[in-house]
Amino acid sequence: MNTGLKDRIILVTGASGGIGAATVRMLVKEEAKVIASGRNEDKLAKLAMDTGCDVLPFDLESELSVKDALSGIEVFGIVNCGGWGGEIASPMETDLEVFDKVTSVNARGTLLVTKYASQGMIKAGLGGSIVNVSSQASLVGLAGHISYASSKGAVDAMTRVSALELGKYNIRVNAVNPTVVMTPMSEWYWGREDVGGPLLEAMPLTRWATEEDCAAPIVFLLSDASAMISGVCLPIDGGFTAV
């Protein structure tokens, strides 16, 4: 299948993380011209060395940083993968400073990148595709995830509104909603039998997602193969939300 991504410029935020880096690698294989952004500049430098992608660090919490980095850049695609997990806490116990930071990075950061990168897309007049990385947590109630789920629920809403607003420019906007990817960062919580066990038992495919499981649908939604898909929030959850 020809994805049509060859030589197209794609910006990937959160590229120093697992899903972001896996997406960069898949896009490079499709011969896209990838611009990678993320918090960890050492990991970005290694990713650039391994893949040949370009690197563009900026701060998702700073409008000035995002504006300065993206003003004047004309991209075909955006992957809003930058995010922060925050804490595990109930609504009664949640730290509002953590809530504000999670919202600032996950929701506000997604909006900032969309705001400034889409201006260049519109100017170029070539259409394009934006993929927001949301979460299963925005689709179902997960204990302890009040801040994270709220931020990703906002991302889902932004996806639908942005699809409506940008459609007239032939720019599609979709989201992917992955289940748990069992990284060292998530293993401390989801690796507990009393926490992760019930989720796996309720999941028809009964396994955790890999970074590549998440990256492949992102690349599909960026590609010409999904030319008539916009405004969708696609679960990548082994069937969990279907039952």
* The three-state (H, E, C) secondary structure of the chain, written as one string: CCCCCCCCEEEECCCCCHHHHHHHHHHHHCCCEEEECCCCHHHHHHHHHHHCCEECCCCCCCHHHHHHHHCCCCCCEEEECCCCCCCCECCCCCCHHHHHHHHHHHHHHHHHHHHHHHHHHHHHCCCEEEEEECCHHHCCCCCCEHHHHHHHHHHHHHHHHHHHHHHHHCEEEEEEEECCECCHHHHHHHCCHHHHHHHHHHCCCCCCECHHHHHHHHHHHHCHHHCCCCCCEEEECCCHHHC
Query: Catalytic residue at 43?
Result: no
pTM for the structure as a whole: 0.97
Cα–Cα dist 152/150, whole Å: 5
Give the pair of three-digit tokens for residue 156. Answer: 């889902």
Which pLDDT value is given to residue 188?
Answer: 85
Cα–Cα dist 149/219, whole Å: 24
Domain that holds residue 150: 9-233
Which pLDDT value is given to residue 100?
Answer: 98
Q: Which of 43, 148, 168, 189 is catalytic?
A: 148
pLDDT tens digits, one per residue of 93-143:
999 999 999 999 999 999 999 999 999 999 999 999 999 999 999 999 999
Which pLDDT value is given to residue 54?
Answer: 98
Which pLDDT value is given to residue 179?
Answer: 97
Read off the pLDDT of each residue in 225-232 and give the average, rounded to a whole number. 98
* Residue 213 is assigned to a structural domain of this protein: yes
* Residues whose CB falls within 8 Å of the CB of residue 165, separated by 6 or more in sequence, listed in order: none
Which pLDDT value is given to residue 31?
Answer: 98
Query: Catalytic residue at 152?
Result: yes
| Buried-exposed string 80-101: b where 16+ CB fall within 10 A, e elsewhere | bbbbbbbbbbeeeebeeebbeb
* Residue 243 is assigned to a structural domain of this protein: no
* Residue 2 is assigned to a structural domain of this protein: no
* Residue 167 is assigned to a structural domain of this protein: yes
Cα–Cα dist 104/101, whole Å: 5
Question: For 90, what's the count of Cα atoms within 13 Å in the CB-facing half-sphere?
Answer: 2
* Residue 144 is assigned to a structural domain of this protein: yes
* Residue 4 is assigned to a structural domain of this protein: no
* Residue 239 is assigned to a structural domain of this protein: no
Number of domains observed in the structure of the chain: 1
CB 37 within 8 A of CB 57: yes
Model confidence at 1, pLDDT cuts 50, 70, 90, reads: confident
Which pLDDT value is given to residue 229?
Answer: 98
Q: What is the CATH number of the domain that holds 46?
A: 3.40.50.720
Average pLDDT, the chain: 96
Model confidence at 2, pLDDT cuts 50, 70, 90, reads: confident
* Residue 15 is assigned to a structural domain of this protein: yes
pLDDT tens digits, one per residue of 175-193:
999 999 987 678 889 999 9
CB 8 within 8 A of CB 76: yes
Distance in Å from the first CA to the final CA of the chain: 31
* Residues whose CB falls within 8 Å of the CB of residue 75, separated by 6 or more in sequence, listed in order: 9, 10, 11, 35, 117, 120, 121, 128
Q: Which of 116, 152, 168, 169 is catalytic?
A: 152
